[in-house]
Chain A
Amino acid sequence: MDTWKALNGYIRHFAIDRVYRFFYYVETVAKGELLGEFEHLVLLAVLRLAGDAYGMRVRREIAHRTGRDVSIGAVYATLDRLAAKGLISSSLSDPTPERGGRAKRSFRVTGAGFDAVNRTRQELANMLEGLEFPTFGAVR
């Protein structure tokens, strides 16, 4: 039975998981540490919430500051992508009654995450430099 267990683990690890993780890795690494628009928002929300950033609070923070009503699934998908890029790290807390006995995954920005935010902010500032914008509603 141990041989079967080892063989099963080998097939799962090398033949199936590796193939999919390879494509996932290629997809995420190909983009480098450049942040997409929503990734940028999520990373900034995690940064703002400091030590207490978890899915629903990130969602609320984005909704509060940008007026966007995003879904919790989209937030988690983005958090997972950011974690795969090494820009955030996560930790699981103990289940609590106010969460219906479920655990909470908290996120925090890593050093690479700070670098990515700074780089994106710098790029944006460079692009905006010298541009003059008409006020809202002035251009039709």
Chain B
Amino acid sequence: MKPPLLARALLAAVAGDAEADCIAGDLYEEFTYLARTCSRYGVSRWYFSQVIRSVLPLLKLRVRSGELGGAILGATLGVALPLLLLDQLWRLVYSEIPLKDGLDRAPGFLAVNVSLVCICSAVNGFRARSERQAAFTALASICAAGAALWISTGSTPAAYALLVLLLAPVSSILSYVLRLRRPV
């Protein structure tokens, strides 16, 4: 009998690289021990409760150890900040052109934004040390890009927003995968 898949996935997602394996092993050991005396439902419920109650302490631990903080800082400085700076730059450019001030951004400008998001996310993904970190970096990139789009002053067409939110995590994960495949 195996612990519930969803609980295992949640544990793998929230636990840091240093603890994930040990905690999963500890819980598995206790799970098999309890499975001898408890019902399948009871032991699964115990496993779920342990994982859910561990989410907050483990996330806190990851923030303290710098693991999550690095990804959040990377996404903020590497994705949100460049997007916002570009937004300000386009705003300045548009304000200098007669009759253009306040108009929607031209596709060329938005394409530059998208390219920059891809490059910055890829750099962030390249820095990830493990799959877990790469996944979190991708998630942080989505959040940072979303926040930057929300704050930006220029218009955000749906297709552009979707492209940014999609390409940010994809380029992050892709660069991590490419780094893994790179011959040493």
Closest residue of chain B to A73 (Cβ to Cβ) is B54
Interface residues of A in 47-105 (CB under 8 A from B): 54-56, 59-60, 71-74, 76-77, 80, 92, 95, 98-100, 102-105
Q: Count the A residues whose beta carbon is within 8 Å of the partner chain — how many?
A: 31
Identify 11 new A-B residue pairs, CB closer than 8 A, beyond the known A20-B69, A55-B22, A71-B57. Answer: A19-B73, A20-B63, A20-B65, A20-B66, A59-B26, A72-B54, A73-B57, A74-B57, A102-B24, A104-B22, A105-B22
Question: How many contacts A-B (CB < 8 Å)?
Answer: 98
Interface residues of A in 1-40 (CB under 8 A from B): 8, 11-12, 16-17, 19-21, 24, 27
Q: Tell me, rounded to whole Å, the shortest Cβ–Cβ distance linking B122 to chain A.
A: 13
Interface residues of B in 95-111 (CB under 8 A from A): none
Binding site for A on B (CB under 8 A): 15, 19, 21-30, 32, 50, 53-58, 60-61, 63-66, 69-70, 73-74, 126-127
Choice from A11, A56, A105 contacting B29 with Cβ under 8 Å: A56
Choice from B25, B58, B69 contacting A73 with Cβ under 8 Å: B58
Q: Tell me, rounded to whole Å, the shortest Cβ–Cβ distance linking A69 to chain B.
A: 9
Question: Which residues of chain A are near B21, meaning CB under 8 Å?
Answer: 102-103
Binding site for B on A (CB under 8 A): 8, 11-12, 16-17, 19-21, 24, 27, 54-56, 59-60, 71-74, 76-77, 80, 92, 95, 98-100, 102-105
> Given A8-B126, A76-B19, A77-B61, do A56 and B66 touch, yes or no (CB 8 Å)?
no
Q: Are A54 and B64 in contact (CB under 8 A)?
A: no
Q: Are B61 and A103 in contact (CB under 8 A)?
A: no
Q: Are A77 and B57 in contact (CB under 8 A)?
A: yes
Q: Are A17 and B66 in contact (CB under 8 A)?
A: yes
Central interface residue in A95, A99, A103, by most chain B CB within 10 Å? A99
Q: Are B65 and A12 in contact (CB under 8 A)?
A: no
Question: Which residues of chain A are near B29, meaning CB under 8 Å?
Answer: 56, 98-100
Q: Give Cα distance in the complex from A29 to B53, angstroms.
A: 27
Q: Are B28 and A72 in contact (CB under 8 A)?
A: no
Closest residue of chain B to A76 (Cβ to Cβ) is B19
Question: Which residues of chain A are near B28, meaning CB under 8 Å?
Answer: 99-100, 102
Q: Give Cα distance in the complex from A92 to B18, angstroms.
A: 11
Q: Are A77 and B32 in contact (CB under 8 A)?
A: no
Q: Give Cα distance in the complex from A12 to B65, angstroms.
A: 13
Q: Tell me, rounded to whole Å, the shortest Cβ–Cβ distance linking A2 to chain B.
A: 12
Q: Give Cα distance in the complex from A56 to B47, angstroms.
A: 13
Q: Tell me, rounded to whole Å, the shortest Cβ–Cβ distance linking B136 to chain A.
A: 14
Q: Are B26 and A71 in contact (CB under 8 A)?
A: no
Question: Which residues of chain B are near A8, meaning CB under 8 Å?
Answer: 126-127
Closest residue of chain A to B69 (Cβ to Cβ) is A20
